[in-house]
Amino acid sequence: MASKYFPYAVKVISKKIESSDTFTIVLDWKIKHDPGQFIQISIPGVGEAPISIASYSNKHVQLTIRKIGNVTNNLFKLEKGDKVFVRGPYGKGYPLEEVKGKDVIFIGGGCGVAPLKGGIEYLEKNRKSFGDVYLFVGYRSPDDILFSDKHEQWKEKFNFFESVDKLPEESCYNGDVGFITNLVEKQKITANNKVVFLCGPTIMMEKTIEILNQKGFKNNQIYISAERLMYCAFGLCCHCMIHGDLTCMDGPVFRYDKIKNIQ
In tens, the pLDDT along 175-225 reads 899 999 999 999 999 999 999 999 999 999 999 999 999 999 999 999 999
Query: Given this model, what pLDDT does residue 228 score?
Result: 66
Mean pLDDT computed over 113-118: 96
Say yes or no to pLDDT of 1 above 50.
no
Position 263 scores a pLDDT of 47
Q: Is the pTM of this model over 0.95?
A: no
CB count in 10 Å sphere of residue 39: 24
Asked if 201 contacts 112 with a C-beta cutoff of 8 angstroms, the reply is yes
Q: Is 78 left (phi over 0), alpha (psi -120 to 50) or beta?
A: beta
Q: For residues 49, 69, 66 and 224, what is the CA-based torsion angle, rounded to 10 degrees?
A: 60
Report yes or no: 228 and 247 within 8 Å, Cβ to Cβ: yes
* pLDDT the model gives residue 242: 75
Q: pLDDT digit string (tens) for 55-68? A: 999 999 999 999 99
Burial tier of 80 (Cβ tally within 10 Å: 0-12, 13-18, 19+): exposed
The DSSP bridge partners found for residue 245 are: 242
* pLDDT tens-place string over residues 139-173: 999 999 999 999 999 999 999 999 999 988 778 78
